[in-house]
Structure 1
Amino acid sequence: MKLLKQLLVAPAALGLLAPMAASAAEINLDGVNQYASDEQVTSISQFPDVQPTDWAYQALANLIERYGCVAGYPDGTFKGQRAMTRFEAAALLNACLDRVTEVTDELKRLMAEFERELAILKGRVDGLEAKVGELEANQFSTTTKLRGEASFILGGTPDFESPLRNSDGTRAAKPNEVTFNYDLRLSFDTSFTGKDLLRTRLRSGNFSSLPFGSSSQIFKLDKAESTDDSVEIDRLFYRFPVGESFRVTVGALVRNTEMLSFIPSAYNSSILDFFQLAGASGTYNKGTGAGFGVSWRQQVEKGNPYVTFDANYVSENGYDDSSVGAFTEESGINFLTQLGVKSKNWGAAVAYRYGSEGSNIRVPNFSPRTVGSGGDTNSIAFGAYWQPIDAGWVPSISAGYGYNWGDGGFRDSQSWMAGLQWSDVFLEGSTAGFAVGMPPFTSSGETESWLYELFYKFQVTDNISITPALFYASDYRNNRGNDTWGGVIQTTFKF
């Protein structure tokens, strides 16, 4: 038995040696595989006297599965606790060596047959290693990745009347011509631990305020910003985890909505800005400036619904003038919190935002939009969505509602939206959708305007998409109270 243990433990024998037979008087050495010849041993479970708790169980199982050179007694047992003679050991080792020899010969034959293909693969691997070495020697950074997004937007609003007036009191020219604008975003994402994120984003755009570039307009596009063709830093923040459940974000240029765990909507056209904010643009006002935030996520088993809670603080004006502190009322404070529950294909949330003097509340179609001196605002939002797990004729459904109130001359208002979106329309990856809603309107109804959007996003490749869209607004205050419509063709490149 001592010899058996040595053979099984030895590295060479683990790949060759298999069963223990009986004593020399009980076994026929010329037919050591007698049991196997009657019934081929293909699984260790065929030996009723071998248990998983036996010390050599795994070694025996490997020999059966990999080499098939294990035999037992005619009665079907293995008798692993019995001693064996040197003759028996020699016979059993010879059986396994025969199998190993067969495998080795087969490998030699295959290597000879595919010698040319193996040489080509070796050459390719050597070439790849050389290229990887060159990339590593010349790479931009070992910790930073560049992510880019460029959008070309062709669009116009044929019968839009400008609300602006010239110095002589006459109405300014109508912004009704077709224009071709761009929006460019370059994000440098750096990670030092694999779980944190330092983001520096550069942005450039050439949109005018009317009709697509100003957040005071209900036709404000999600990707329409103006930097006068110059490149600006519009994000600079650091995000890192604290334990398993918390995430902290702090930055000199950070946006409040981007510090939330999610926005409760599955509608994503990337066209009209209002429909990207769950129908509550007052609450989800995209306040950007110096700030910080904390997010908490409930730890549950994968696939189960979980609860989230977010709280963040952004000072819109407290970073560009040292005479105004980031923690003073006149710095344009935005304090945003959200409590939500999210699952694989649905989610819901309630959110609250406080805005101090100087903050922008993002209520297109009426004024004021910036909180005046000594004033403040409050906004609350409710949103929910559901989407099918598999793409089909059933669309995702999103709905949201927002209410705003305050003082200092600010009027109470409310807003809402509902959106349907289909996945894999005509082509895999392409989507289509329709949304309807009312941007913020006062209780008196003087600023009521119905807004509609219809879009189709054609996913040309993984990195290129083309999105034609049409939108319509009734009784648009900034169009002298008349109905108006517009359309765009938005081409986006991601790299």
Structure 2
Amino acid sequence: MTKQFWNLIKVSPVIVAATFFAANSALAAEVNEQVTNVAQLSEAQDNNMSQVTSVSQFSDVQPTDWAFQALQSLVERYGCIAGYPNATYRGNRALTRYEFAAGLNACLDRVNELIATATADLVSKQDLATLQRLQEEFSAELATLRGRVDAVEARTAELEANQFSTTTKLVGEAIFAVSDVFGENRAVPAGEPTEDLNSNTTFSDRVRLNLYSSFTGKDQLQIRLNAANIVPNNGVSGTNMTRLGFDGDNGNSVVIDKVNYAFNLTDAVRVKVDATGAELYENVNNFNPDFASSGRGALSRYGRFSPIYRQGQGGAGLTVTFNPTGAISLSGAYLARTANNPTLNNGLVEGDNAIFGQLSFQPTKAFNIGLTYARTYQGNTVANNLFQSTGSTFANNPFGNNTATESNNYGVEATFQLSSALAISGWGGYTTADARNGANAGADADIWYWAGALALRDFGGKGNVLGVIFGQPPKVTGGSIKNVAANVELDDSTSYHLEGLYKFKVSDNIQVTPGLLVIFNPEHNDANDTEYVGTLRTTFSF
């Protein structure tokens, strides 16, 4: 600033009034930045200063401060001192010429108001002369500031006229995927003749549009539209172990596949009501943050998270999470897959259902562990599916078709961040299933599974992730069903799941993920050749 300015500032204490923008430069900063959406506009409005009537309203201004008397005089005499909404003045912030001009402009407006309301005697001739000279000194800055304010107002009007909704945000995701299955023979159950594996390279897509609405600021209504043509490749590979984590085919017809509403019952209790499309792995912590997402996580179905979170998938239900401290949380859920079906042995209570509970511990920010339990019931469906097509065919349907099945599922999951760039996660699970009717009524099955994942974050660039996942998909290891003659050879060997992928962040909205999935001894049958699934997934988010 010029020497002339510093001489002016000594003339009258009115000049000190303009320095309130040295502490309150949020408005000028917002004017300097381009407003691109309504959310930014709301944030800018929240940071606006509010007029005070007494210096005592400022929590950070004390009577011992060197400028206290000047501030007190200006508040009482001119009323052109403003503060932040949190009752602070922030008088030690740096001052720019634009900020000074903004404060000067506010004081000029206040002086004009005093003159117009016949209170001009409060303004001395000396103050008026000083203000006039300051107005001339800062005429360029004042003109620029007014121009920017006009531009912001015009932009604001345009955004308000064209915004999608005042309560709803539209969030989209589109996946383009190229994939193929390789191997000598198609996987078959033990004892069946081998078949050649004939697979073609595919190019397919999935598009999801999520409408997120909030009515109180602490609640969320989600409505999801989904269209896809990614055909699950178990048809050519002979095993669900080769399925991709984002597959699904509805002929690219747009359907509403998820509707739910979440809200805070109290500060410590969060409630989520699913009308359709309920998925436990979205409602509770699944302890695999780097790979859980279908669009930005693991490429395989098994590599995303423990199969225990697939219990009760797809229906309606209620999930409640109690988190009083942040270090310990308790979640409970009831999901009913056939809740919308009024026919016999269906509905909210009588049909397929899952009762779920999980206790999570987070003793440090780097370590998180969970203990999980789910009790499920599946009625006389044509083909029951204990893990929603994750693992061997025998593990998903050990008692045959048209058999009502109950299961108790136990799981332990953990995540350990060794550093900001290195994280490991894993899970183990045990399921005991019982047949309630049919030819195998009274039979039971013991099923085990486990996996571990390694994530190298920012590998090769900011936002990139190199991942490796290894484990054993669900396998029947015991129970009376293993003694049935026809099933003696089923799941007698062990399959292993090995997956390597590299999530490359092209931009904040584009991620490219190449990867290779290797299944050793598919269907837990060492007579089957190793199968490979090569995939290139590109995810666009908007």
Taking structure 1 as the reference length, what is the TM-score of the superposition?
0.72
Task: Report the equivalent of 1:89.
Answer: none
Is this contact kept in 2: 1:249–1:259, CA < 8 A?
no
- Amino acid corresponding to residue 476 of structure 1 in structure 2: P
CA distance in 2, matches of 1:56, 1:442: 73
CA positional deviation for 1:446: 1.5
Q: Aligned-pair distance for 1:439?
A: 0.5
Q: Indicate the residue corresponding to 1:265 in structure 2.
A: 288
Alignment partner of 1:155 is 2:179: yes
Asked if structure 1 preserves the Cα contact closer than 8 Å seen for 2:428 and 2:451, the reply is: yes
CA distance in 1, matches of 2:536, 2:345: 42
Say if 2:253 is the partner of 1:247. no
The one of 488, 492, 495 aligned to 2:539: 492
Looking at structure 2, the residues matched to 199 and 457 of structure 1 have their Cα atoms a distance apart, in angstroms, of 27
Q: Which residue of structure 1 lines up, in the alignment, with residue 466 of structure 2? A: 432
Report the CA distance between 1:197 and its aligned residue: 1.2
Aligned equivalents of 2:498, 2:464: Cα separation in 1: 21
Q: Please give the alpha-carbon distance, in whole angstroms, between the structure 1 residues aligned to 2:433 and 2:62.
A: 78
Counterpart-to-counterpart distance in 1, 2:267 and 2:423: 31
SS at match of 1:130: helix
Identity %: 23
Distance 2:338 2:300 in 1: 26
Distance 1:110 1:215, change over 3 A: farther
In the TM superposition, 1:369-408 aligns within 5 A as 369-370=396-397, 373-388=403-418, 390-391=420-421, 395-408=422-435
Structure 2 counterpart SS, 1:482: coil
- Measured in 2, the distance between the counterparts of 1:494 and 1:99 equals 57
Name the SS for the 2:151 alignment partner: helix
Which of 512, 515, 519 aligns to 1:466? It is 512
CA distance in 2, matches of 1:424, 1:13: 51
Q: What is the distance in 2 between the residues matched to 1:318 and 1:116?
A: 65
Counterparts in 2 of 1:446-461, with a 5 A limit? 446-461=492-507
Q: Would you say 1:417 and 2:451 are equivalent positions?
A: yes
In the alignment, the residues of structure 1 paired with residue 415 and residue 235 of structure 2 have an alpha-carbon distance, to the nearest angstrom, of 27
CA–CA separation in structure 2 for the residues paired with 1:189 and 1:158: 40
Q: What is the CA distance between 1:125 and its match in structure 2?
A: 2.2
The answer to whether the Cα contact below 8 Å between 1:151 and 1:493 also exists between their aligned partners in 2 is yes
SS, match of residue 495 in structure 2: coil
- Among residues 323, 326, 329, which one is paired with 1:308 in the alignment? 329
Gap change, CA 1:121 and 1:309, over 3 Å in 2: same
C-alpha distance in 2 between matches for 1:104 and 1:275: 71
Q: Are the equivalent residues in 2 in contact too, given 1:399–1:418 (CA < 8 A)?
A: yes
Q: Deviations over 1:103-149 (max 9, x none)?
A: 8744531333x4664465245224313313422xxx44322211111
- The equivalent residue for 2:156 is 129
CA contact (8 A) 2:186 2:194 kept: yes
2-structure distance, mates of 1:209, 1:288: 17
User: 2:274 and 2:360 mapped to 1: Cα distance?
Assistant: 24
Please give the alpha-carbon distance, in whole angstroms, between the structure 1 residues aligned to 2:518 and 2:424: 21
Q: CA RMSD in A?
A: 3.8
SS of the aligned residue for 2:358 comes to strand
**Alpha-carbon spacing, 1:56–1:157, altered in 2? closer, same or farther (3 Å):** closer
1:340 aligns with one of 352, 360, 364: 360
* Residues 378 and 319 of structure 1: CA distance in aligned 2, closer, same or farther (over 3 Å): same
Matched, 1:57 2:63: yes
- Cα gap change, 1:260 to 1:308, in 2 (>3 Å): farther
2:387 pairs with 1:367: no
- CA distance, structure 2, for counterparts of residue 119 and residue 242 of structure 1: 46
Alignment check: 8 A CA contact 1:405 1:412 kept: yes
Supply the distance in 1 between the matched residues of 2:72 and 2:181 (Cα, whole angstroms): 73
**Is contact 2:312-2:335 (8 Å) kept?**
no
Q: For 1:173 and 1:233, locate their aligned partners in 2 and report how far apart those are by CA, in whole Å.
A: 38
Look up the equivalent residue of 2:137 and give its one-letter code: R
The answer to whether the Cα contact below 8 Å between 1:471 and 1:487 also exists between their aligned partners in 2 is yes
**Alignment length, in residue pairs?**
405
Shift in Å at residue 175 of structure 1? Answer: 4.7
C-alpha separation in 1, matches of 2:15 and 2:514: 70
Matched, 1:276 2:304: yes
Q: 1:283 deviation in Å? A: 4.9
The alpha carbon displacement at 1:242 in A equals 0.4
Partner of 1:469, secondary structure, is strand
Distance 2:235 2:225 in 1: 21
Residues 281-315 of structure 1: CA deviation (Å, up to 9, x unaligned): 1454461202112111123xxxxx51111111111
In the TM superposition, 1:141-290 aligns within 5 A as 141-159=165-183, 161-162=185-186, 174-211=197-234, 217-258=240-281, 260-268=283-291, 269-277=297-305, 280-285=306-311, 287-290=313-316
CA distance in 2 between counterparts of 1:181 and 1:160 reads 24
- Provide, for residues 17-74 of structure 1, a one-character-per-residue CA deviation record: whole Å limited to 9, x for no partner: xxxxxxxxxxxxxxxxxxxxxxxxxxxxxxxxxxx9xx9927864346899xxxxxxx
Q: Give how far 1:400 is off.
A: 1.1
- Give the 3 Å change call, closer, same or farther, for CA 339–175 of structure 1 in structure 2: farther
Asked whether the 8 Å contact 1:222–1:270 carries over to 2, the reply is yes
Q: Which one has a bigger Cα radius of gyration?
A: 1
Task: For residue 12 of structure 1, report the CA deviation from its aligned partner.
Answer: 8.6
1:234, CA displacement in angstroms?
Answer: 1.3
Pair 1:235–1:15, CA change in 2 (3 A): closer
Q: Which residue of 2 aligns with 1:441?
A: 475
Deviates more, 1:404-413 or 1:418-427: 404-413
Hey, what's the Cα distance between the residues in 2 that align with 1:230 and 1:248?
Answer: 31
One-letter identity of the residue aligned with 2:498: Y
Mapped to 1, the partners of 2:446 and 2:392 lie a distance apart of: 13
Q: Is the 8 A contact 2:279 2:314 kept in 1?
A: yes
Q: SS at 2:230's partner residue?
A: coil
CA distance in 1, matches of 2:14, 2:237: 76
Q: For 2:507, what is the secondary structure of its paired residue? A: coil
Aligned amino acid, residue 531 of structure 2? T
1:354 lines up with 2:375 in the alignment: yes
SS of equivalent residue, structure 2 residue 234: helix
Letter in structure 2 aligned against 1:338 = Q
Q: Contact 2:358–2:373 at 8 Å: present in 1 too? A: yes
Q: Give SS of 1:443's match.
A: strand
In the alignment, the residues of structure 2 paired with residue 120 and residue 411 of structure 1 have an alpha-carbon distance, to the nearest angstrom, of 75
Between the aligned partners of 2:68 and 2:206, the Cα distance in structure 1 is: 61
Residue 248 to residue 115, structure 1, CA distance change in 2 (3 Å): closer
Shift of residue 460 of structure 1?
A: 0.8
**Separation of aligned partners in 1, 2:394 and 2:247:** 21
CA contact (8 A) 2:395 2:474 kept: no
User: What residue number does 2:346 align with?
Assistant: 325
Q: Deviations over 1:339-386 (max 9, x none)?
A: 002353331101011111236321422325257534211111101111
Q: Contact 1:283 / 1:379 at 8 angstroms: preserved in 2?
A: no
Q: How many angstroms apart in 2 are the aligned matches of 1:491 and 1:159? A: 25
Unpaired runs of 5+ in structure 1? 1-10, 17-51, 68-95, 300-304
The whole-number CA distance in structure 2 between the counterparts of 1:386 and 1:100 is: 67
